[in-house]
């Protein structure tokens, strides 16, 4: 039995929560994956997974074995990359993730320049407004907008972004411009379903800087790009990151409201998993992308000073 292959299949089953999803992830038939996991359990003399018709879960022994298997597979992967020269020359595949709208506007142009400069590096750019798990999804670098959780990730700040409320001129003409956050509680509102979504909209009181929450009940919750379109159509007041609404604002299709009440700008970071030794492809990308993202953001927003920190 190929023990590393069996470990990888078992780990995929634990992370995906089902044999069928793990089989799709590994590109093998479900019976093959099931047999490999069963052979692994037989070799170890213990049950690693509990299976029901609706759910798959690791046993106590399985949880411990999954942690060990993940560590072993990461060490093998790192050893293979080192043997292939990944730590001696910038080469190999690099996986980067970013929010959809932001990735298209800011990250993709940087990657285009990067690929031209480093012909031995290939990039997979994953654009999604939901935060992916860097370890489980095998992601090298991620763009995060907003306050970082205490996740142990290494973070390099590249700027910040205003969080704004905007509406169409027609809606403002019909309902009037809100004078304070409380005016939004009875107004039609549009929220996004990304990582910055929440039950209430937070603002800062002019002068004192005291935080105040508006108990907004959105009429529509949708991804940011659709939220911009809906706001232009007059569906409601939209809470967006400034870059998401910028084109519509410049075109006059949307107008900013409650600007004196805007909260602190959301920080933007490049984050990655801590490593004993960072592959050169990651180091080169970080060194290349960080200053370019700072310049790109500085042309639109007041970016913060750059620094590297532990999230």
**CATH class of the 163-261 domain in this structure:** alpha beta
Q: What is the C-alpha to C-alpha distance for residues 55 and 66, in angstroms, rounded to an integer?
A: 17
Note the CATH number of domain 3-83: 1.10.10.10
Higher-confidence residue of 230 and 276: namely 230
pLDDT at 153: 87
The pLDDT of residue 72: 87
pLDDT of residue 201: 92
Predicted pLDDT at 197 = 65
Question: What is the structure's pLDDT at 131?
Answer: 86
pLDDT score recorded for residue 294: 95
- Give pLDDT tens digits for 123-158: 999 999 888 889 888 899 999 999 887 678 899 999
pLDDT of residue 54: 67
CA 223 – CA 128 distance, rounded (Å) = 10
Gap between the Cα atoms of 165 and 239, Å rounded: 5
Instruction: Give me the helices (H) in 84-137, please.
Output: 100-102, 108-117
Do 3-83 and 92-160+266-310 show the same overall fold? no
CATH class, 92-160+266-310 region: alpha beta
299 vs 175 pLDDT, higher one: 175
- 66-113: per-residue pLDDT in tens? 999 888 888 787 777 666 655 566 888 999 999 998 999 999 999 999
pLDDT, tens digit, for every residue of 183-241?
999 999 999 987 666 657 999 999 898 999 998 989 999 988 999 999 999 999 999 99
Supply 117's token pair.
């400069």
Task: Show me where the domains of the chain are located.
Answer: 3-83, 92-160+266-310, 163-261
- In degrees, rounded to 5, the angle at the alpha carbon of residue 133 between the alpha carbons of residues 9 and 11 is 15
pLDDT, residue 247, reads 93
């Amino acid at each position: 039995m190929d023990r590393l292959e069996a470990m990888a299949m078992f780990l995929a089953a634990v992370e995906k929560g089902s044999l069928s999803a793990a089989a799709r992830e590994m590109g093998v038939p479900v019976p093959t994956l099931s047999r490999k996991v069963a052979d692994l359990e037989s070799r170890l003399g213990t049950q690693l997974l509990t299976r029901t018709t609706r759910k798959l879960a690791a046993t106590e022994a399985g949880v411990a074995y999954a942690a060990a298997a993940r560590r072993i597979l990461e060490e093998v992967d790192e050893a293979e990359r080192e043997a292939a020269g990944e730590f001696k020359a910038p080469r190999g595949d690099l996986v980067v993730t970013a929010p959809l709208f932001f990735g298209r506007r800011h990250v993709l142009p940087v990657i285009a320049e990067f690929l031209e400069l480093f012909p031995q590096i290939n990039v997979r750019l994953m654009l999604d407004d939901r935060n992916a798990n860097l370890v489980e999804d095998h992601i090298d670098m991620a763009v995060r907008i907003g306050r970082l959780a205490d996740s142990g990730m290494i973070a390099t700040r590249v700027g910040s972004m205003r969080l704004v409320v905007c509406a169409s001129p027609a809606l403002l003409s019909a309902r009037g411009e809100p004078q304070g956050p409380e005016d939004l509680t009875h107004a039609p509102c549009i929220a996004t379903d990304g990582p910055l979504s929440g039950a209430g909209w937070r603002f800062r009181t002019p002068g004192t800087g005291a935080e105040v929450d508006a108990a907004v009940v959105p009429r529509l919750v949708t991804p940011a790009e659709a939220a911009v379109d809906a706001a232009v159509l007059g569906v409601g007041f939209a809470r967006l990151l400034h870059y998401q609404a910028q084109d519509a604002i410049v075109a006059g299709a949307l107008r900013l409201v409650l600007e004196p009440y805007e909260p602190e700008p959301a920080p933007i970071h490049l984050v990655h998993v801590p490593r004993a030794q960072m592959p050169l492809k990651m180091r080169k990308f970080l060194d290349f992308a960080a200053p370019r993202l700072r310049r790109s953001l500085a042309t639109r927003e007041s970016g913060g000073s750059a620094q590297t920190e532990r999230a």
